[in-house]
Amino acid sequence: MIKSYLNNIEYFLGSLKQDNSVFLKSIGKNKIKTQKILEKVGVSVRNIADKKTFSNDLAFKSASKIIKQINRKKIDYLINCTQTPEYLIPTNACILQKKLKLKNNIGALDINLGCSGFIYLLSLAKGLISSKTSKNILLITTDTYSKLIDPQDLSTKLIFSDASTTSLVSANKTKNSFEILNFEFGTDGSGSRDFICDDFGTKNLSNKFVKQPKINMNGTKIFEFTLNTIPSFILNFLYNNKINKSKIKYFFFHQASKLVLDNIQKKLDLKDENMVNDLKSVGNTVSSSIPIILKKKFKNIRKNELILLCGFGVGLSWGACLLKKT
């Protein structure tokens, strides 16, 4: 069986830093104490892309860091995960292929997934390597949710940051590699309207382009979905893989909010040292949240230790996978 390895991750954050003091000034009449924001959301600093920076720009920045570490001629596939594409047509991965000066005889595609996106990217890369289609794959996550947020909607403005990550998945391992092991996924389209951007597709277009697209999130419904679905999903995933949770060095959950992470930890009865939380300085970066926190923990994970990644959210969509340090 051909194995696949996650060899490296690099990331790039929106350049504008918005801390809670700036945020409180910007919301005018709705005076919320910084401490209350931190208790519920857990974000101290939001990283926002400026008006002239878009998802492909962030992707180029993170991908360029990876390409400096590998001969770009060896890249034979590029998959770009975004829900804030610069263009509906053409495929943004094709634009990135040109900007990154990659060779022409490679595959390039976009996928539209949010907080579960990185798990799906890893599974697609593993499939491409297992089928001998590719040997070195760039996996990009990139979103500028700030451009779709209603300034008056505190449920989204409090949480999200703009970011991109690029990961290198290969058929050959390096000294810092993680072997990509097993996956499980879940989907429930009945919750699709709990987190939606109605005006971003073709359905609601008229003769005039109506209005600035905005995200609509039912935070209560998303919270209920997460707590009702994810803890039992993780327990079943561990059971199916015959692994006790005590054997997992770190649990890398999508960084939704402090409230969500605290409740998942409580339901799964996880120790603080096994639970990764980096919301405070980064915020919720959608599909980039898991690779960012994984990159920050690379050096803390030793040979043969297992880690578990789990993404969940808009769709509704969720997934988990196991990685082992080689």
Q: Across the chain, what does the average pLDDT equal?
A: 91
Q: How many other CB atoms are found less than 10 A from the CB of residue 262? A: 15
Q: Which domains can be identified in the chain, with CATH numbers?
A: 5-175 (3.40.47.10), 179-325 (3.40.47.10)
pLDDT band at 237 (very low <50, low <70, confident <90, very high): very high
Alpha-helical segments (H) within 76-177: 92-99, 117-130, 154-157
* 86, 119 Cβ separation under 8 angstroms: no
Q: How many other CB atoms are found less than 10 A from the CB of residue 296? A: 14
pLDDT band at 26 (very low <50, low <70, confident <90, very high): low
Report d(CA 100, CA 168) in Å as an integer: 14
Q: How many other CB atoms are found less than 10 A from the CB of residue 119? A: 25
pLDDT at residue 147 in the model: 92
* 133, 5 Cβ separation under 8 angstroms: no
How much of the chain exceeds pLDDT 90, in percent? 76
pLDDT at residue 19 in the model: 85
* 309, 167 Cβ separation under 8 angstroms: no
pTM of the model: 0.93
Helices then strands, counting H and E runs in the chain, come out as 10, 13
* 227, 267 Cβ separation under 8 angstroms: yes
- Taking only the tens place, the pLDDT of each residue in 34-81 is 567 667 888 989 999 999 999 999 999 999 999 999 999 999 999 999
